[in-house]
Amino acid sequence: MEVPGLAHNITSPLSPCAGVIKDLSALQLCERDGSQSQDGNMEALPVPQNIKISNITCDSFKICWDMEPSSKERITHYFIDLNKKENKNSNKFKHKDVPTKLVAKAVPLPMTVRGHWFLSPRTEYTVAVQTASKQTDGDYAISEWSEIVEFCTGDYSTVHLNQLLVKAEVIAGRMLPLSVFYRNQNKEYFEHAKEDQGNMMLQAVKDNSGSHGSPISGKLEGVFFSCNTEFNTGKPPQDSPYGRQRFEVKADSLFNLDTNLYFGDFYCMYTAYHFVIVVLAPKGSAGDDFCKGRLPALDLSNNSFLTCKQEEDGSLVFHHAQDVILEVIYTEPVDLAIGSVAEINGHQLMSMSTVNAKKDPSCKTCNISVGR
């Protein structure tokens, strides 16, 4: 889309929010408030009607509206007022104080609005539109503002997740052997599973930790496991942020040749260490169906994070990445009978918990060029 040069003298009546000036590559931001600049003898420009938002992604959308055909030739520009809708659950770490005024040359509708500098994924926005006609003196005649409409941006696509995947591969480090998956919780959790859930650990919905645009947050159900081992012992660490009771299960009970493996996320929490989320989904399961098309699939025997390889004798061997903390989501219920529960000797390190943890948006290692 062709865009105009920087417009310094734009004024707009009843602008929904204050503006900022910034030179952009695809659209232009401008400051506008004050009185309408319009020749009193000029016929009023049409107000956009029936605003429609479509083709919404995590950092773009298409917008169109109805106008009187006879007025189109007088319109040279569109003014778009885009604002993040304030709510108690808004992403406080990204684009917190950026009201956005976009100025674009009048192009055939629908028009694509794209930009990670002012759009975050999974975020509610309001938008209003004016039509404008640039005058010979450089000023603009403008219409009244349209109605305000609301929309919500989408999740990361597989394109964005593949960008995260590549970044995670860079720091994953060498592979270390593992033999078990483990899950720490408090004593009451396991008692509840035994007494009220038929000895089963049931799936829970993934919380909002990690990347703001992750398609699994608040949607994918699973049982959460760890698999990292200590370098010097080859065994799971004795400390955990989640509880002193630990369920351990042999790795091949959850991860085998009948399992699909997916990359879910890569993030940090203002710390030097990074987390990678992977999803284990039995082939053909509901969790597997959810992940297909949403998450990048990983080769079971050849990836940088968690591998399962079959030896010549038919046995399976497992390895995990040394330099990232893996969070493993298994998409099906897990029977306590296939493993064992015991108390750990270490400490419950609450500072290591990732429950609803917010991703550091300033980290260059784990962020990509879309909203965090």
Give the CATH number of the domain where residue 146 resides.
2.60.40.10
170 part of a folded domain? yes
The verdict on 133 and 196 lying in the same domain is no
Q: Hunting for tokens 């290591």 — which residue is that? A: 352
Structural domain contains residue 247: yes
- The mean of the pLDDT values for the chain is 83
Measure Cα distances from 300 to 27, 287, 307, 330, 331 in Å. Answer: 43, 17, 5, 15, 16
Res 18: pLDDT: 35
- Examine the domain organization and report whether 141 and 217 are in the same domain: no
In this structure, what token pair is assigned to residue 277? 């989320």
> Which of 153, 173, 208 is a domain's end point?
153
Residues 109 and 248 in one domain: no
- 240 and 316, same domain (yes or no): yes
pTM to 2 decimal places: 0.80
Same domain, 142 and 184: no
**Residue 4 binned pLDDT confidence (cut-offs 50, 70, 90):** very low
Please write the tens of the pLDDT for every residue from 289-327.
Answer: 999 989 999 999 999 999 999 999 999 999 999 999 999
Structural domain tally of the chain?
2
Is residue 5 assigned to a domain? no
Which tens digit of pLDDT belongs to each residue from 183-207?
Answer: 999 999 999 999 999 999 999 999 9
Domain limits for position 55? 49-153
251, 165: one domain: yes
Where helices occur in 135-220 by DSSP H, the ranges are: 158-171, 187-196
Tokens (6 digits) for 230: 């200590």
98 in Cβ contact with 193 (< 8 Å): no
- Say which residue, 358 or 11, is predicted with more confidence: 358
If one counts every other C-beta atom within 10 angstroms of the C-beta of residue 204, the result is: 12
Q: Which of 121, 153, 185 is the last residue of a domain?
A: 153
Q: Distance between CA atoms of 227 and 273, rounded to whole angstroms?
A: 16
Same structural domain, 313 and 266? yes
Residue-by-residue DSSP string for 276-327: EEEEEEETTSHHHHHHTTTS-EE-SSS-SSEEEEE-TTS-EEEEEESSSEEE
At 211, give phi and psi (nearest 5°): -65, 140
Q: How confident is the model at residue 26 (pLDDT cuts 50, 70, 90)?
A: very low
